[in-house]
Amino acid sequence: MNYWWLIPFLAVFSYVLTGLLRRYALSRSLIDIPNQRSSHSIPTPRGGGVAIVLSFICALVILFNTGLISDRTAIALVGAGGIAAVIGFLDDHGHIAARWRLLAHFFAAAWGIYWAGGMPPFEIGGVSIQLGWLGHFLALIYVVWMLNLYNFMDGIDGLAGVEAVTTCAGAVAICLLGGYTGLAWPPALLAICCVGFLCWNFPPAKIFMGDAGSGFLGVVLGVLALQAAWIDPGLLWGWLILLGVFVVDATFTLIRRLLRGEKIYEAHRSHAYQVASRKFGKHLPVTTAVGLINVLWLLPIALCVVRFKLDGAVALVIAYLPLFWLAVKYRAGELEEN
């Protein structure tokens, strides 16, 4: 049976829903007002990422009912993503204390990891390693960090959307070329849902994603990577490589801020992408550059891991080294006055 009709349907659904959410945000005064820690200069409505959430959950229901994904996959993604989206939605509408947000993040991650089967074995140097409960704990930290780093990196027009579209498209490519056709549907449809939103969010943005959308994307991408690794450990390395821009910038910035004793949950604009956007005076060059890095640099390396069995750890180092150089070049994590 042909299911390609899902692509235009979800794209239009996400696009229309984003427009309706923009009207809702304007009517409820859900507006991001620029301040000294912002990377934008024009008041802009927020919360458009809810369109990604609702359209992708709709896609998952269809995929489950047609037998294209298992019940455990649907439960993992809908449950974990839904929890992250709800706490983000509440935070978008009124501040939620950091400790309660973090508790919800751990619960969402634990839900997704449990239904995904926990931490799968992974390979280093051709050796399969099973870490048991330590592995499950590391998986929990990984998914929680993915959720939060995606929120941290959603700071300029179009960046989080372009990252999701190119990363998911890359994941589809490595799944298809690796012979894992069944794994391609969720990331493919997630990319399409993001495209509908991105039409409104691409620079100059008419609406922002908000915590509901960024948290949802972070946890869903994290869980998708773990699920894929149960089929082929190389796919986990592939996902980590594809997500390299966000992982390196957010992690590098976090470490430098921690070393200075800063409160990491406080707003700032010291990520490399934020520094770069100020340097260029526009968001578009940075957002475009991230998309090109994902497609022209990270995707070929991820393909080498899955298709040609290049060692995942070696490939990850090769992929990340230029990204660390960019983080240093654009002073990620430094105080702005420096």
Q: What is the pLDDT of residues 179-196, one digit of tens each?
A: 999 999 999 999 999 999
Q: How many other CB atoms are found less than 10 A from the CB of residue 130? A: 10
| Domain-embedded: residue 157 | yes
Distance (Å, whole) CA 142 – CA 97: 22
Length of the chain in terms of residues written: 338
- pLDDT score for 268: 86
Residue 36 above 80 pLDDT? no
| Domain-embedded: residue 36 | no
| Domain-embedded: residue 117 | yes
Tell the residue number behind the tokens 């140097």, with chain if given.
125
Per the structure, the complete domain to which residue 151 belongs is given by 6-29+43-121+130-329
240 with 318: CB under 8 angstroms? no
- pLDDT score for 129: 83
Residue 202 above 80 pLDDT? yes
Distance (Å, whole) CA 49 – CA 13: 13
216 with 51: CB under 8 angstroms? no
| Domain-embedded: residue 300 | yes
- pLDDT score for 2: 77
| Domain-embedded: residue 23 | yes
Measured at the CA of 326, the angle between CA 322 and CA 332, to 5 degrees, comes to 135
The answer to whether the annotation marks 2 as part of a ligand binding site is no
Residue 262: alpha-carbon gap to chain centroid: 24
Sign of CA dihedral 123, 125, 126, 127: negative
| Domain-embedded: residue 141 | yes
CA distances from 44 to 22, 33, 38, 47, 206 (A): 9, 7, 12, 10, 7
Return mean pLDDT, the chain: 94
Q: How many other CB atoms are found less than 10 A from the CB of residue 119? A: 23
115 with 76: CB under 8 angstroms? yes
Q: Please tell me the pTM assigned to this model.
A: 0.96
Residue 337 above 90 pLDDT? no
Quote the tokens at residue 96.
């939620």
Quote the tokens at residue 182.
């069944």
Q: How many other CB atoms are found less than 10 A from the CB of residue 125? A: 9
Residues 312/143/219/298 CA torsion (nearest 10 deg) = -20
Residue 338 above 60 pLDDT? no
Q: How many other CB atoms are found less than 10 A from the CB of residue 12? A: 13
| Domain-embedded: residue 37 | no
The answer to whether the annotation marks 232 as part of a ligand binding site is no
DSSP state of 298: I
| Domain-embedded: residue 292 | yes
Q: Indicate the number of domains in the chain.
A: 1
